[in-house]
Amino acid sequence: MPGSSFDLAVSQPFSFARCLEYMTRSPLESLYEVRSGSVIRLLRAAREPDSDCGAPRSYLVDITCPDDQALHVRFLQGKPDSDEELEGVKRYIREWFDLDRDLEPWQQLVADDPVLGKLAAEFYGLRLIGIPDLYEALCWAIAGQQVNLPFAYKLKARLAETYGKSVIWEGRRYWRFPDPSALAGADIAALQSLQLTRAKSAAIIETASRMTSGELSRAGLLGLGDFASAEQALVHIRGIGPWTANYVRMRCLRDPSAFPIGDVGLQNAVRSQLSMDRKPTPAELRELFAPWAGWEAYATFYLWHSLY
């Protein structure tokens, strides 16, 4: 049977401190807590338990990495009762920290780059922190459309606290993002009461319905064979446009070439790095990113991080 802790080896270069630095960019984060040298998060079980309530079990985990060679994961509340569930936890964490990505080609590509060379050195070992859960990634992207980042965090917290599950450990409550089934039948007015617009509320409910029915899934999108096909499948859903689809490609589907060109944060970061007196145009961004082809997602992520 699985034990109360395990280690996950990481490929190099890797800096847990840099990852935690990114994860503390907002004090409004509601789905995990970064403490000194560790991060605590409530995870969903990989499968449904055999119980009358039918609700997915949760595991509260504490993750540390004292030597940047392996993540040490400790179960604080609950633990897998099968190797299958343990593998699900490991898979989630590997996806979350992008542990299987070989970053050496990225480092070599941008080492002498006039724009990214300095950032790649400063953020050496930073992994593109992901959102392995497709529904969470979609809701986060939808909620963040055309609002500032602090307000987007508040919307995410309201969704979690209204429709999600939680546990209490050492006097603190830890939330898990809602399952699609919790929102598939939700009322638009109820979501609007959380200060989501009607359009965003409808999109969150529709994606929940599609995921609950099995029409939409991460495995299904990846099974389409290429990321462009996954993007086309996403933009056919009401409320999901190219920016949202590329954000999901980048942070959930793990496409290193995802390029959310319309992202305001990206535009502001480029403006700052190039000391421009205006935001760059889409054509200027495409020209700037051309030397980084295949690594647009990491370029975007490092540029985002330069704003904090």
15-32 pLDDT, tens per residue?
Answer: 999 999 999 999 999 999
Kindly report the pTM of this predicted structure: 0.93
Return the pLDDT at 142: 96
Report yes or no on 248 lying in a domain.
yes
Return the pLDDT at 56: 54
Do 156 and 71 belong to one domain?
Answer: no
Do 56 and 201 belong to one domain?
Answer: no
Q: How many domains does the chain have?
A: 2
Q: Report the percent of the chain where pLDDT is more than 70.
A: 96
Range of the domain at 284: 134-168+179-305
10, 69 Cβ separation under 8 angstroms:
yes
Contacts of 199 (CB under 8 A, 6+ apart): 239
Report yes or no on 119 lying in a domain.
no
Report yes or no on 127 lying in a domain.
no
Do 184 and 278 belong to one domain?
Answer: yes
Out of 11-25, 45-59, 242-256, 268-282, pick the least confident: 45-59
Do 12 and 64 belong to one domain?
Answer: yes
Is the CA virtual torsion 213, 216, 222, 223 positive or negative?
A: positive
The CA distance from 103 to 68, in Å, is: 14
Do 73 and 146 belong to one domain?
Answer: no
Tally of CA atoms within 13 A in the half-sphere of 43 that contains its CB: 31
Using the predicted structure, report yes or no on whether residue 80 has a pLDDT greater than 80: yes
Helix or strand or coil: residue 22?
helix
What are residue 9's DSSP bridge partners? 70
- DSSP assignment of 196-222 equals --HHHHHHHHHHHHHHHHTSS-HHHHH
Phi, psi of 67 (to 5 degrees): -120, 5
Report yes or no on 129 lying in a domain.
no
Residue type, 46: A
Do 82 and 149 belong to one domain?
Answer: no
**Catalytic site residues?**
263
